[in-house]
């Protein structure tokens, strides 16, 4: 190499030509894509495949050979690692994966993710990300229309938790703009309000922002998990009497466990009365806005000051795809978050710098998450997205009616969304008297069934205790690959796995 003509050597490193073998790299990508197609995409709707290939952590460490060494592995060994990773990962696109508030596969969104991974963009300035900035602007505008605002602003974030934190900080900035420069010193005790059923990210955000978790007043909910407006009014008045400064109310449109929707119109009345920022965490339930049949669940959301909405949940846009939408159109987001980094956001560029939207974000590097939602929306149209929502909720209703017919299954409550919560009471407990011993024994049933289904790989279904209620299953319908037969299988499989309990 040193004898090459015109070779340049700096600090012992030859600088002539690239050091990466592009042809070998292209071949590796081609081989890896074939594995992805065969083992992930083509098996996505195959119910004969396992949902998971369960291994205990220590065993899985040995299988995967996780150690990183001084010298690299050959491509064939790396491709085998790719196969192993796929084999031992949970197949969230499987029709019988019901474990979380996301599931299934959308092929258009998947292709969009392939494109963005290959291009490796960062969405902060138009000069480095022209297409994806325009796409994000178009998607935010359309989502704002579905909320019912005439104008607004927004930003895509890495998760609904971050969107809620953005909203909390934005509400605080609107309440006392000087906090951005002067900090927390000299401020009154700030108080915010959220329901008992709100997402835990509200506590985390209060902690992270220095507000303090003790200053989150949790409002009582009714038997369905909805915030009680009268209790909110009491707590706002209590905070004022204590000398605190209320500044924010967070309502939830689609709670995590029960799928409850807070009464947004009544909460908006209280916010207007007391001059409070009204945020709606619609991370889970926001996609009901797409459905003409079910958007009534979010009646009053147009009165919110900000909304968190995650298309990666019900609409299958792919994790992660989460937007914070803001009614304000005076640049409040940018005023709150901008740092005016001169090396990125020069004001004398040769194009319209209003398209350099990255200063609205607390991030610098930011993924083009809106693109996968946009490409999917373009392919399916609003009608196609609406069909997904309607079908998911129809399947949930079918499951509810089947649960009512079967001995041993008991609903917690009639769902209004895609969350179906129920107990399975095995034969040995069905004649027991309702009392502490019965509930103690029933509490142990769901974890055992969950262990068995995981080790068998037949399906995945979540369970939890909740507000004094012993462990129950929470079944969530999302994926378009799910059918009526899968609902029947779920109930049959629970009975089979628990027959000896």
Spatial separation of the C-alpha atoms in residues 111 and 104, rounded to whole Å: 14
Q: Which residues of the chain have pLDDT under 70?
A: 1-5
Cα Rg of the chain, angstroms: 26
pTM of the model: 0.95
SS3 of 118, please? helix
Query: Residue 193, class by beta-carbon neighbours within 10 Å (0-12 exposed, 13-18 middle, 19+ buried)?
Result: buried
296: β partners: none
Asked if residue 309 lies in contact with residue 322, where contact means CB atoms within 8 angstroms, the answer is yes
Cα torsion through 82, 88, 93, 99, rounded to 10: -150
**HEC string of 307-343?**
EEECCCCCCCCCCCCEEEEECCCCCHHHHHHCCCCCC
CA dihedral sign, ordered 444, 446, 450, 453? positive
Asked if residue 410 lies in contact with residue 423, where contact means CB atoms within 8 angstroms, the answer is yes
Closest by CA to 471, choosing from 501, 445, 451, is 445
Tell me the pLDDT tens digit for each residue of 9-40. 899 888 888 888 999 999 999 999 999 999 99
SS3 of 350, please? coil
């Amino acid at each position: 190499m040193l004898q090459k003509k015109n070779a340049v050597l700096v600090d012992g490193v030859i600088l002539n030509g690239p050091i990466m073998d592009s042809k070998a790299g292209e071949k590796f990508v081609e081989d890896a894509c074939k594995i992805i197609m065969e083992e992930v995409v083509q098996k996505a709707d195959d119910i004969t495949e396992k949902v998971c290939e369960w291994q205990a952590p220590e065993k899985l460490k040995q299988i995967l050979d996780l150690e990183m060494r001084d010298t690299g592995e050959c491509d064939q060994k790396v491709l085998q690692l790719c196969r192993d990773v796929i084999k031992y990962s949970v197949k969230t696109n499987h029709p019988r994966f019901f474990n979380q508030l996301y599931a299934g596969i959308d092929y258009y969104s998947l292709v969009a993710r392939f494109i963005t991974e290959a291009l490796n963009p960062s969405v902060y300035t138009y000069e480095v990300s022209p297409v994806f900035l325009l796409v994000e602007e178009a998607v935010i505008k359309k989502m704002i229309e579905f909320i019912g605002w005439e104008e607004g602003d927004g930003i895509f974030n890495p998760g609904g938790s971050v969107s809620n934190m953005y909203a909390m900080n934005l509400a605080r900035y609107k309440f006392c703009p000087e906090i951005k420069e002067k900090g927390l010193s000299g401020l009154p005790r700030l108080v915010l309000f959220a329901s008992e059923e709100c997402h835990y990210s509200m506590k985390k955000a209060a902690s992270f922002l220095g507000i303090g978790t003790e200053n989150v007043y949790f409002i009582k909910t009714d038997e369905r998990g909805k915030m009680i407006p009268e209790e909110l009014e009491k707590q706002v008045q209590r905070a004022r009497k204590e000398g605190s400064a209320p500044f924010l109310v967070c309502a939830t449109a689609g709670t995590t466990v029960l799928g409850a929707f807070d009464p947004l119109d009544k909460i908006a009345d209280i916010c207007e009365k007391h001059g409070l920022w009204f945020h709606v965490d619609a991370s889970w339930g926001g996609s009901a806005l797409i459905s003409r049949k079910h958007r009534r669940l979010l009646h009053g959301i147009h009165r919110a000051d900000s909304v968190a909405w995650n298309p990666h949940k019900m609409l299958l846009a792919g994790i992660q795809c989460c937007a914070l939408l803001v009614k304000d159109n005076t640049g409040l987001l940018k005023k709150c978050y901008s740092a005016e980094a001169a090396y990125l956001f020069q004001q004398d560029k040769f194009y319209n710098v209003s398209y350099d939207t990255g200063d609205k974000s607390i991030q610098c590097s930011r993924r083009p998450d809106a693109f996968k939602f946009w490409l999917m929306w373009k392919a399916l149209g609003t009608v196609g997205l609406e069909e997904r929502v309607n079908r998911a909720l129809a399947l949930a209703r079918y499951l509810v009616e089947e649960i009512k017919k079967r001995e041993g299954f008991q609903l917690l409550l009639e769902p209004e969304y895609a969350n179906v919560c129920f107990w399975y009471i095995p034969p040995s407990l069905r004649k027991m008297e309702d009392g502490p011993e019965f509930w103690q024994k029933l509490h142990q049933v769901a974890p055992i069934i969950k262990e068995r289904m995981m080790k068998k790989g037949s399906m995945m279904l979540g369970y939890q205790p909740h507000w004094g209620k012993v462990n129950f299953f929470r079944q969530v319908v999302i994926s378009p690959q799910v059918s009526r037969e899968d609902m029947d299988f779920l109930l049959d499989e629970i009975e089979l796995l628990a027959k000896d309990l």
